[in-house]
Structure 1
Amino acid sequence: MKATSWLAVILMVLNIGCTSHTDNGIKIYPEQPISTDYIGNGVQWSAYPHADTENAEWGKLMTDGKWDMNYKRLDYMQPKLFRVLDQANWRYMVGFDEKGEPILDFDTPEVKAVEKILDYAQKNNITVLLGEWGTPYKMHDKDQGNSDKFTGANDPKWINAIVEYLDYLINTKGYTCLKYYNLVNEPNGDWASTKGDFNEWRDGVILLSKALKDKGLDRHISVAGPDAVTRYDNPRSTYSGLGWVEETARQIDENIGIYEIHDYTAHDLVKSGEFELFHKKAADIAASKNKQIIFGELGMNRSGQLNQDRAKADPYASEDSQMEVYDHSYGVYMADAVIQSMNAGFSGAAAWALDDAMHTMNDLGNKNELKRWGMWNSLGTEICNNPDDENIRPWFYPWSLVCRYFPGGTSIVKTDSTGIDGVRLTAGVFEDDVTVAVVNNSDVDNVISLNIPTSKAMQKFLYVEGESKLDDNGFPVAAEKNIKAKKALKVAVPSNSFVLLTTLDD
């Protein structure tokens, strides 16, 4: 920010109160929860199917050193939610017998690669949403001659294979972090293995739920759904995107452990605040069933012409890339979206995605078609001949903070509105600690007054382009500490910024 802009902000702090409120400031109401037992925010983390083992297309490029780099960065982030999706034939389905029955092997190098993620989640008490992209050989690897081996998402053979895998992971390996299961990714999509057939997906969920119960696994894991892209309406599907949530609740709620949706949302929807209003419809459906709801995938829309031009200009990016991950603005929009989701009643969000190195276009393994959505690229050196691509990108700053300082078990509570266009906040109460996240998704510097109900000292983090404080690892550093919360605490919120205040210690 230019010095003149900062001077304006300082003058505002000294001389101007929050114009939309009295001197008491914007109030936070701990006794009025929006949601309780918040699961927390996190990331989509896949086990690098192109680079996880010697058998992979690229070989074992994900060395122990590469994994350790990710672990170290996640240690700072402290995510509370992982979504981990795969395909059975990438990991444990190694063939078919003479009767066409799948042959399962849980002792493969590929399964051990997944266990690297699960080991980390288990150690750090992270909730894991596991699942598969779609029916084997109907979503990926269609050219391998096995597309007739399963009829669809409701094929008992596939359901039984899933349950055997979960039994191994939960009962043999002891992964209590596994809480939820996705049967098919975005089943309402015309790109999904279900092609938007609600009945096929529904019947598969019913079979899976029953099979989990028969195996005694329902005590540990349940189905997450519908996993629909709620702002997408497939003309081939009987129901709209939001209709998938409505019909899941109406037809098979007893088979669903948690409601879960996706959105690659429009920038203007977030900036206007309409994101919260739209998604509250889904949150209200879940609440009517006394169940939680999360975003299994959350990101910003990639279809704009500028973004597509940037992707084309990058020799390693596929068209399914969000090049804004290199920009400060992406952190502002993602922070804004998650703040609105919390106020709408969601219990967490997994950002897509942690790492560019996880996926390629259609997962064909083409090195010049990375899905660039990550907070870094673990294989920047090996794939892109660019070690700098392994560096942490700007949006790690706000996203790591909304993971780190909204612990599992937090109550998200009501607050007053700021009354200022583009300036929004959310607050969480965890035991006797309070965290307040504020975003200014506008081009205007602002100051707000906060009435924070705590006597504990607070620290403040400030995400401002070019001026965010970082340590030698690239991790956020508090801009200010030992702040005494008081009636009408003045907080400068510069344009296009994110501010987090918390009583939680580092």
Structure 2
Amino acid sequence: MRIAEGTQPKPPSPVEISIDTSKVVNTMRGGIGASWHAIEQPIPIGHGGSGWGAYPAAEDERAWQQIYRHASWLGLDWNRVEIEQRIYEPDRDHFTFDSPEMRILYRILDWNQKHNTDVFFQQMWIDTAWLAYPGSRNDPIARVHSAPRDLDAFANGLATLMDYLIRKRGYTCIKWLSITNEPGSNWSWWQGPSGAPLTIGAGLAAVRKALAQRGLNLPLSGPDSGMEVLRAAIKPEDMLLLGAYDFHDYSIKFDPDSNGYIENQVRAISSWTKPAHDEGKAVFFSEFGAIQSTAAPVQPRPDKPAPVLAASEFVIRNANAGVDGFNRWSFLNRGDLDGQWQYVDTWDTLHSRLLSDFTPHANLFFGIGLLSRFTAKYSDVLATDVSDGRMKEWQRVFCAAFRSPNGNVTLAVVNDAPVEFALKLSWAAAPPLGTFFRYRYGKPQYDRADVRVDPEPRFSPAPGTGWSDSLPPNSLTIYSTYELKNEDPGITAEVSAPAKN
């Protein structure tokens, strides 16, 4: 059939991206990483989420070397490490520093210490009968949601653990401490005797006092919840106890028609970053992810290409908004509890046992993973201007420019539209030194665990002049002065001291 003249769809206008190397939007006080947990005892489904299980015993050297290799490939450099009070203080003043779960914790911290990453240490919940409110002690569901009934005892236990890990075992990688997970909601793990959520201010004060008594200057972060429950989680006057603000977001939209929501979300976080930085405080997303549907828990939800791309865009847009660190939920989990969130498959869901060989989980590992692989912690985020790249009324192309402490530059460009855009990239100030290499996650890589990420040989721009290129539909493109072959480890740290905003 002949198409009438003039009815062909109009191609989108080319997008122009300009990076100003003389203007730093923010120097990140963290980086990009994922959640690791040392909790192996099962928690009632729906109440512990995917925050337990899927790790091998600490003595399984072959399994841990696989885990370490995948973590190194991803270049995870700002990692949330999660525990519960049960694993180190199952009874009042009875500390178990050599339990199987504690040995898993040491395995996790060993890798982070060796690779000079920053650890955001997280006590998820207490899960102990002795510390729970009386009506919750014998109910495993209520117990895991209970706030500590004795805040001084709670704080003494957590501070004793921090003293042991930092002073006695030398884990200087621990940079931040959060005392509980997602307070302020009706599913909160900080609930009072009636089951209603409590604010965490008194708990923060008790922990800060206990740390100070031990001479530990470890900043606390909070509220560790969604912005929508902020006032239910912490009172304004108690925010003075915090050294950083951190939030969770699982409402990331991957539907192109939801760009208006995303713009509002970015504006909301922007309203936090500048005043926080003026106070000398960091702002983190300590959990984030996108969910595609409300399918049954065993069905893959957040690992489909659309929500993976949306989560990558979330990092790019919020890095430009001044966020200091991003923790993706999660590095490992069983994938049979509340969706398949894991970067690496370690669990046989059919037979409920560990796999022998641990392999990348498609889309997540190679999609969001490219952001952590090619960025170093404490990077500068450079001012970036994106012109055009629109469909209808919405912007569809976004770029963040990261400059490492040693001067390497990585540009992350997402095209969330179903069409290709022509690209013209230029520098608004002195261009970076060195050659840029191109890496890509797009439709040819979707749903595959055998992807190789090597510099693309057909991309060879002249040094210093910018370049013309094309952005494939629904894709993430990385331009970087790091030349990494697929067998090379990713980038974690280039400096050992945190940068100042």
Q: TM-score, normalised by structure 1?
A: 0.78
CA 1:59–1:260: 2 relative to 1, 3 Å: closer
Shift of 1:482: 4.4
Contact 2:252–2:310 (8 Å) recurs in 1: no
Contact 1:41–1:403 (8 Å) recurs in 2: yes
Equivalent residue in structure 1 for 2:74, among 56, 77, 83: 77
Shift of 1:372: 2.3
One-letter amino acid of the counterpart of residue 416, structure 1: D
Contact 1:375–1:396 (8 Å) recurs in 2: yes
Q: Name the residue aligned to 2:184.
A: 188
| More moved, 120-129 vs 192-201 | 192-201
Q: Name the residue aligned to 2:242.
A: 256
- Which residues of 2 match residues 77-476 of structure 1 at below 5 A? 77-89=74-86, 91-95=87-91, 101-137=92-128, 138=132, 143=139, 152=148, 155-195=151-191, 200-218=199-217, 221-230=218-227, 232-233=228-229, 239=231, 244=234, 247=235, 250-267=236-253, 268=255, 271-272=259-260, 273-274=262-263, 275-301=265-291, 307-309=293-295, 311=296, 317=298, 323-325=301-303, 327-357=304-334, 369=337, 371-380=339-348, 382-383=351-352, 390-420=359-389, 421-430=395-404, 431-452=406-427, 453-467=431-445, 474-476=451-453
Q: Name the residue aligned to 1:47.
A: 38
Number of aligned residues: 442
Aligned equivalents of 1:389 and 1:323: distance in 2?
20
Aligned equivalents of 1:59 and 1:454: distance in 2?
41
Shift of 1:486: 4.5
Contact 1:154–1:207 (8 Å) recurs in 2: no
Aligned equivalents of 1:419 and 1:298: distance in 2?
28
Contact 1:132–1:184 (8 Å) recurs in 2: yes
Shift of 1:93: 1.4
Q: Equivalent pairs: percent with the same residue?
A: 21
Aligned equivalents of 1:330 and 1:151: distance in 2?
33
Write out per-residue CA displacement over residues 421-451 of structure 1, whole angstroms, 9 at most, x where no aligned residue.
2110010122332111100011121122111
Shift of 1:383: 2.0
Aligned equivalents of 1:48 and 1:144: distance in 2?
15
Any idea what SS the aligned residue of 2:31 has? Answer: coil
Shift of 1:111: 0.8
Q: Name the residue aligned to 1:22.
A: none
Q: Which has the higher helix share?
A: 1
Any idea what SS the aligned residue of 1:45 has? Answer: strand
One-letter amino acid of the counterpart of residue 434, structure 2: K
CA 1:347–1:172: 2 relative to 1, 3 Å: same
Aligned equivalents of 1:103 and 1:174: distance in 2?
22
Aligned equivalents of 1:17 and 1:454: distance in 2?
27
Contact 1:40–1:81 (8 Å) recurs in 2: yes
Contact 1:223–1:255 (8 Å) recurs in 2: yes
Write out per-residue CA displacement over residues 316-349 of structure 1, whole angstroms, 9 at most, x where no aligned residue.
x2xxx75240x22233111100001101100110
Any idea what SS the aligned residue of 1:466 has? Answer: helix
Structure 1: gaps spanning 5 or more residues: 1-7, 20-24, 96-100, 360-367
Structure 2: gaps spanning 5 or more residues: 1-7, 43-51, 390-394, 485-501
Aligned equivalents of 1:443 and 1:145: distance in 2?
44
Write out per-residue CA displacement over residues 109-151 of structure 1, whole angstroms, 9 at most, x where no aligned residue.
2211111100000000111111212243459985269959x86
CA 1:115–1:371: 2 relative to 1, 3 Å: farther
Contact 2:289–2:328 (8 Å) recurs in 1: yes
Aligned equivalents of 2:417 and 2:232: distance in 1?
32
Equivalent residue in structure 2 for 1:28, among 19, 35, 41: 19
CA 1:46–1:469: 2 relative to 1, 3 Å: closer
Q: Which has the higher contact order (CA 8 A, sep 6+)?
A: 2
Contact 1:412–1:429 (8 Å) recurs in 2: yes
One-letter amino acid of the counterpart of residue 439, structure 1: V
Aligned equivalents of 1:170 and 1:482: distance in 2?
46
Any idea what SS the aligned residue of 2:386 has? Answer: coil
Aligned equivalents of 1:345 and 1:57: distance in 2?
33
Q: TM-score, normalised by structure 2?
A: 0.79
Contact 1:261–1:294 (8 Å) recurs in 2: yes
Write out per-residue CA displacement over residues 458-503 of structure 1, whole angstroms, 9 at most, x where no aligned residue.
1101111124799x96452222454334445112111100001011
Aligned equivalents of 2:331 and 2:53: distance in 1?
21
CA 1:168–1:505: 2 relative to 1, 3 Å: same
Aligned equivalents of 2:450 and 2:137: distance in 1?
39
Contact 1:469–1:477 (8 Å) recurs in 2: no
